Every structure is written in C-alpha cells, then in structure tokens.
Structure 1
Amino acid sequence: MAPVKISHVVSFSSQDPRYPVENLLCPDGRRPWLSCPQERSRQLRVELQLERAVPIGYIDVGNWGCAFLQIEVGRSSWPLDRPYLTLVPSVALMTPADSKLDRNRCGVRMFKEADFLVPAAGQKWDRLRLTCSQPFRPRGQFGLCFIRVRTLLDPELCHPAAEDAELKGSPQRSNPASSCRIPSAEARL
C-alpha cells in the first residue's frame, strides 16, 4: 500500500479565507477546509489533482461537520464536459440529530476498494471530486479536515503508459461503505 500525493486543487465551490481549501494538501491535517461563513447553499465541492494516475485502493476522509459525502473520479485528460464516475456514492458522515445538535462533528471515514462502485473500481484515476453537504444546519460552517489516498500497488509497478487506458467493465461489488474511527493504517489489517 503506497500513499498517493495530492498535487494541487483544481477547483472548489467555497472556502473560508481563514480555513482555505489548500489545507487539504497539508499531510498533517491540523487545519480544516471550511465553507465560507456567508455560504448558504449547504453544499461544498472540491476537485483535486493527484500526482499520478493510479488505481485507488483506499481513501481516508477526516470530517468536520459534513452530514453527507460523495466521491467521484476522473482523468485530467478528459474533456471538460465529460462527467466523472461515482467511486463512493453519497454516504452519511453524521446523523441528522448529531447535525442539528452540533455533536460528533469530527470523525474519520475509511473506504477501501471493496466499497467502490463499478466501473470506477480498479481503474486508474488522477482526479478526485468530493461533494460535501450539511442540509440539517442552516447556519454554521462545515468541511473536511483531511483526505488521504492510497494505492494497493507498489509505486514501481505503476506504469505511466497504461494510465490513460479507457475504462473496462469489472464485476459488480455491492458492499456498503464501511465506517471506522481509527485513522491508522494498522486498522485495515
């Protein structure tokens, strides 16, 4: 299992200048990316460029007040109008009650390859799009503390020539996304 570096932010929908989206690029996860205090859409979106195209094996996400999260994948070589594929469908990070009472805002959600939807699982990707929402609290900021991406492959086994290969079908997986509050890699073993 090898970490995959996020090289830069491609686009985002909102940010608090005190807690900008670039905080997601910091490996320590000390400062979150938060919505603008005046933002009322109750939805945030960020598109991230990975260092290279890889088959994604794990994604760890640190929550900061989001009720729901969806993860989509794409390729930087795709035309702008091509839709991304859903890797992780919308999953709950907080219950409606916790959202309304402002409890349990921070937690870690860990996704593995078996949690990913077909045809996105097992393919090589270099773009991630995360969509966060918090419909249960009309006021208050929300966002993410961190995102960590890992591949199952050894970095030396990733061949750049195959990175832009077109999607191929793969067997369907139906496991729901798993939840765990232990952010260490040892928890996956």
Structure 2
Amino acid sequence: MAPVKISHVVSFSSQDPKYPVENLLNPDSPRKPWLSCPQDKSGQLKVELQLERAVPIGYIDVGNCGCAFLQIDVGRSSWPLDRPFITLLPATTLMSLTDSKQGKNRSGVRMFKDVDFLAPASGELWDRLRLTCSQPFTRHQSFGLAFLRVRSSLDSLDDSVVGPSALVSSVLNKD
C-alpha cells in the first residue's frame, strides 16, 4: 500500500495558532497536533485537504486528540464548488461520552481500511479529503487530530509503467 502525500490545506474552520492545521501535512514530523482555536466553542472542526494526486484510498490512520466523532468525505479538485462531497467514512466514534466528559483517553489511534468505507466512494479515485471532527460533550477544551496518514490501495504510485514494448526496446538496445 503506497503512502499518499497531502500536498496542501484547501480550507479549514478553526485552528489554534500554536497548533495549526498545517501540522497534518507531514505525519512523520515530530508530533504536533492540529487543534481548535481555544475561543472556538462550536464543538466542530473541518478541514479540506488536497492530495498529491487522485488515487483509490485503501487505508486512513488517524491520531486522535480529543475528538468524539470523525467523518471523512471525499471529492475531486475538478468538481464545481457547489458539488457535494461523498461520504467515505461515516461519522465514527473516537471517544465515548464518559471519556469525553472526564477528559480520559483523549489520544488514541484508529486505523480504517477499505472495508470500513462506504461502497459509493470505495475504490474510486479521489484527490480531496474533507474531515469533520466534533466534540459536542466538552466545549471548554481544544480538540483536533494528532496526525493523518493516507494510503492508496495501489501497490505503488510510480508513474512509470513498463509494458511489453518497453521490454522489447530495452532488449534491442542492449547491443
């Protein structure tokens, strides 16, 4: 499963200046989360991310940082702005009500694979992700994501494809 690079942030709803949304762009850097602005009491965070290229998404690993629920929708950069995204991962529980209210188990990792994804979106090519994080139980504390890793269901994202004609050509050019 090939890793998919997140090229840039298209839009976001909120961020803590100390923990900006750009922290999600490099999941292998020292762990700095993306957190909601301390003054934001809406209980919901959204980010739209541009992937390096359109790929079928096979795996998504998420590091939680206080979110109770997460939903992931997918789309394409070529779509008109008014076209709605398609749900890849329906709203999923990352923290229970009790844990949220007690501030326990705020950090955890969830790994999602293609069997967790909804059929209309699974297996199609996507280059945009929209993540909706929510924490309706405790609005006095910042929340967000520690990291996000996306992997394609393809074995490799290499552009070069060696076909029969390329093999014949390389054999003929050996002499």
Listed as ranges, the matches of 1:36-115 within 5 Å are 36-115=37-116
Aligned to 2:128: 127
Return the offset for 1:118.
1.7
1:162 is matched with none
Q: State the partner residue of 2:4.
A: 4
Residue of structure 1 in register with 2:168 after alignment:
none
Aligned partners of 2:73, 2:21: CA distance in 1, in Å?
18
AA aligned to 1:27 is P
In 2, the alpha carbon distance for the partners of 1:5 and 1:156 equals: 13
Where do 5+ consecutive residues of structure 1 fail to align?
160-189
For residues 22-80 of structure 1, give each alpha carbon's deviation from its aligned partner in whole angstroms, at most 9, with x where no partner exists.
00012225100000000011000000000000000000000000000000000000000
Is the Cα–Cα contact under 8 Å of residues 54 and 158 in structure 1 kept in the other structure? Answer: no
Check 1:113–1:158 CA distance in 2 against 1; reply closer, same or farther (3 A cut): farther
- Bigger Cα displacement from structure 2, 24-33 vs 125-134: 24-33
- The one-letter amino acid of 2:111's match is M
CA apart distance, 1:152: 1.8
CA distance in 2, matches of 1:84, 1:127: 9
Distance 2:132 2:143 in 1: 12
Following superposition, which runs of at least 4 residues in structure 1 exceed 4 angstroms of deviation? none
CA distance in 1, matches of 2:130, 2:2: 21
Q: TM-score, length-normalised on structure 1?
A: 0.82
Structure 2-normalised TM-score?
A: 0.88
Partner deviation per Cα, 1:148-176 (whole Å, 9 max, x = no partner): 000121213799xxxxxxxxxxxxxxxxx
Mean alpha-carbon deviation: is it higher for 78-87 or for 20-29?
Answer: 20-29
- Residues in 2 aligned to 1:158 and 1:36: alpha-carbon distance in whole angstroms: 43
2:28 counterpart residue number: 28
Q: Counterpart of 2:158 in 1: which secondary structure?
A: helix
Show the counterpart of 1:181. none
Q: Which has the larger radius of gyration?
A: 2
The answer to whether 1:141 aligns with 2:155 is no
Aligned to 2:158: 156
Unmatched segments (≥5 aa) in structure 2: 162-175
Residues paired across the two proteins, number: 159
**Cα contact 1:3–1:151 (8 A) shared by 2:** yes
